[in-house]
Amino acid sequence: MSWKRRRSTCGTCTTSKGYYAKGGSIEMTTQQNAIDNAAASSRIRETGIGWHKALGAARRLGGYGYPALAFVLLFGGWELAVRLFRINPLTLPAPSGILNALFSDFSFYLDHAGVTLYEAIVGFVIGSALALIGGVLMAHSPALERMLLPIAVLANVTPIVAIAPLLIIWFGFGSFPKMLIAAIITFFPMLVNSITGFRSIDQNNYEYLRSLHASKAEIFFKLRLPNSLPYLFSASKTCITLSVIGAVVAEWSGADKGLGNLVMVFSNYMQIEKMFAAIAMLAAMGIVLTAVIRIVEQRALYWHSSTQTREG
């Protein structure tokens, strides 16, 4: 009995040894899975940390950090999609190809950009000046507003594409019709905002100035004009980009220089990367002009709540 019991015990030992041998393999697999899971978790944490670092860097850059991050994500995704799906460059070129086309002949694009920029800025100044004059008159005279505002609305709803060829026929292919079209497309938004701004005054302040026998000119410069500035700057940020659009549309109708002309020519000859390069210059022009107005607004309206941004 002792021998059988011993043999049974040895058999049990042998079986147990085999079991633990297999268990060692299972234990090693479990440890490896734990290591892999820990590594995956570490990578996820590192990705999260990297993303938070990117957001932190964007926040530290102030007002320019988040737009820069958005541009990186947009064009990085664009480049990746073009390469991953092998999109035909004639359909959608990659940003790298567009940049190559742009900087391979940058001075050429810069010369044409100068023409369009000149037309857009002069048109913006003319249209804004006329709109401000009309806004002052209409803000002080409701009867004049009822008489002239429908004409301004009619000019605004008329497609600028239909007006541009007519102005080219009347005034030729020079810069003047382009500036005139930019002024027309700028006029109405500035007019409406100026009327609203000049009328948006505090009635108590108005009555106080009247009690001091202030003249209409004094009331305008001390009360109406300062209170209208937020409306005017808001309209300016819209109108400056509209003036660029107006100049481009006018160049499509007839021009031998300007970025609008380049877009048309490159499109006709299926030079898509060069066409996108011209469009990129137009986009950069609009962004820079809007940023300039924004900077001036922050300096001029440092006291107003619209320029006081909160972090985070």
At 38-58, the pLDDT tens digits run 554 555 454 444 555 555 555
- Residue 26 pLDDT > 70: no
**CB 290: neighbour CB atoms within 10 A?**
16
Report the pLDDT value the prediction gives residue 62, as an integer from 0 to 100: 53
For 101, half-sphere exposure in the C-beta direction (CA atoms, 13 angstrom radius) is 19
Q: How far apart are the C-alpha atoms of 127 and 143, rounded to whole Å?
A: 23
At 269-285, the pLDDT tens digits run 999 999 999 999 999 99
Residues 6+ apart with CB under 8 A from 124: 182, 183, 186, 239, 240, 243
Residue 159's SS3 state is coil
- Residue 16 pLDDT > 90: no
Q: Which one-letter DSSP state was computed for residue 171?
A: H
What is the domain partition of the chain in residue ranges? 2-56, 61-92, 95-307
Report the pLDDT value the prediction gives residue 31, as an integer from 0 to 100: 57
Classify 114 in phi/psi space as left (phi over 0), alpha (psi -120 to 50) or beta.
Answer: alpha
Work out the pLDDT band at 86, boundaries 50, 70, 90.
very high
Mean pLDDT rounded to a whole number for the chain: 84
Is the CATH number of domain 95-307 1.10.3720.10?
yes
Q: How far apart are the C-alpha atoms of 140 and 216, rounded to whole Å?
A: 10
Report the pLDDT value the prediction gives residue 30, as an integer from 0 to 100: 55
Question: Average of pLDDT values for 226-250?
Answer: 95
- DSSP per position, 212-265: TT--HHHHIIIIIHHHHHHHHHHHHHHHHHHHHHHHHHHHHHS-SSSHHHHHHH
Q: Are 236 and 128 in contact (CB under 8 A)?
A: yes
Q: Which one-letter DSSP state was computed for residue 270?
A: T
Work out the pLDDT band at 37, boundaries 50, 70, 90.
low
Residues 6+ apart with CB under 8 A from 87: 81
Which pTM does this prediction carry?
0.77
Q: Are 210 and 236 in contact (CB under 8 A)?
A: no
Classify 141 in phi/psi space as left (phi over 0), alpha (psi -120 to 50) or beta.
Answer: beta
